[in-house]
Amino acid sequence: MVPTVGRPGLASTLSPLLRGGPGAPAEVVVVDDRPDPQGPPAGAEAAGITLLRSGGRGPACARDVGWRRTATPWVVFLDDDVLPGVDWIAELAADLAACGPGVGGSQGRIEVPPPVGRRPTDAERGTLALAHACWITADMAYRRAALEAVDGFDRRFTRAYREDTDIALRVLGAGYELVAGARRSVHPMVADTRLWRSVAAQAGNADDALMRRVHGPRWRKRVAEPPGRLRRHVLTTAALAGAAACGAAALGVRARSRRALGAAAGASSAASAGASERIARTAAATVTSRWSDEPASAPSVRRARLAGFGRRGARAVPAAAGANSSQRTRRIAGAAAGGLVALWTASTAEFAWRRIAPGPRTAREALRMAVTSALIPPAACAQRLRGEWRHRGARPHGAGAVKAVLFDRDGTLVHDVPYNADPEQVLPTPDARAALDRVRSAGLRLGVVSNQSGVARGLITPDELEAVNAAVEDRLGPFDVWRVCVHGEDDGCACRKPRPGLIREAAAELGVRPQECAVIGDIGADVEAARAAGARPILVPGPATRAEEVAAAPETAARLTAAVRRVLRGNAS
């Protein structure tokens, strides 16, 4: 089973699998995970390949789609950039034959050729680490019973990161053993020279938040993985943020102090002018009394003394009495900012040197490491916060009541056009895409169950029906399963809703029980079919819904997004 995003090495990966001979695989499944493929990926057109689509939802979803379409006791997962050796098939057969009944998985050995004549770059060291990684699905065989026991891959892991560690932990938790086989594959060294590659890779911190949520804080020890640098990144980012805050505080104090001094200077000038006028008047009165040989009145003398007239060394008192306090606050904030900048500089330099030292130490590589080492800590912290918020209510995979959501088509996902044979008339209901994307983001399986009696009535052809369904997918994204009843009301089939056949068939293809499905539709037949199958029905009333159907429904929602929210809330409770 090979998930692919159309890498050029896919044909080389598939070639050894199609040679036949003893131990050859019973089936080769390729799952195209490109969001909008324009034809099959190069190398997947060969005879003997089953080609499926997963709609760009990540390798976990692609692998989950692939293994559920197989029926063999073992399912072997290969990445589309791995090159199996010449004897890989024979070695695989020997590895699986050596597995006892308690072994749930067998990992192949990945060889990564190092660069010749120089030390590896930071990006190349990441690829070299694959040779020592535990339980990665670049070359991993899982027993079908183990996959069924843990309900396959967790589709909430939408990147090529942690989805293999997650399923390995769940298989181990189910009581199975994982072993290393003797078969060997080669993972070519890919030179990724993009400047921002390592910064973009920090999105994996959001996946680590999900791992912590579903496997606990000590999950790294269970897979022998060393602790990451998140705590140091938090310290570095906190130092940078603290320095910025202290610097801003110092500038704020300085600005306020200047404004206060300016206001005080204006007030002081006005006060000085008033005082001068009072002094002049008092002096005049005093002089007049002296010329007239009359003693000055006591109040006049007192006013003169208070005004400072005739006092030796008289001087003005500063109005801005808090200037010293402001300066002291500014000095403290500035010193704190300087200390935090020094801490940030030292931490960033240590991180950069840790990445530069084992590398080729070229000027280009050193510059790349210096720049990205300053950006990685805040990026890592931001991604971790995003993951903690997004997965704040996450439960372990398979623990929720609902694992698949099945939607009616006409009147639910698209506006009802009776016996529609024209793809151009496919018009999604207002929040259909948003509701479906929420289901996909939650990692639940997704399907459509629809009555289309127009085929039995001769009003539309099977090809026209297929074209309309393709238009629905084009507008709303891919579905994991379609189940359509083309019979008439009087044909007596077991699939036409309100009978449970469509729901049971869809659940079987998705690898879940009907009791693990939610069915969302707009009429009573959808509700009755879900009840008959044992699924959870949610009615979203529309123009065709009768009042008695609303009254009889065990659960209703005003919009599709509200119905999906009910499902997801139940899974998180």
Instruction: Give rounded-to-5 percent helix, strand, coil for the chain.
Output: 50, 15, 40
Q: CA separation (Å) from 240 to 25, 236, 347, 373, 376?
A: 55, 6, 10, 13, 13
| Both structure tokens of 267 | 């007030």
What is the C-alpha separation between 452 and 470, in angstroms, rounded?
15
Tell me the C-alpha distance between 504 and 516, whole Å.
11
How many residues make up the chain in this entry? 573
Peptide bond into 498 cis (omega under 30): yes
Cβ-Cβ contacts under 8 Å for 113 (sequence gap 6 or more): 186, 188, 189
3-class DSSP string for 555-566? CECCCHHHHHHH
**Which of these, 361, 375, 264, lies nearest to 318 by C-alpha position?**
264
CB neighbourhood size of 491 (10 A): 12
CB 526 within 8 A of CB 557: no
Strand (E) or helix (H) holding 549: helix 547-552
Cα 260 to its chain centre, rounded Å, is: 49
Calculate the CA 92 to chain-centre distance.
35
User: Across the beta sheet with 74-78, what order do the strands follow?
Assistant: 74-78, 139-143, 103-111, 177-186, 83-84
Phi-psi group of 556: left, alpha or beta (phi > 0 → left; psi -120 to 50 → alpha; rest → beta): beta
Could you give the residue numbers annotated as active site? 408, 410
Q: Name 368's Cβ contacts closer than 8 Å, sequence gap at least 6.
A: 122, 195
**126, two tokens:** 């990441």
> Which of 110, 397, 391, 383 has its CA nearest to residue 228?
383
C-alpha closest to that of 149 among 116, 193, 104:
104
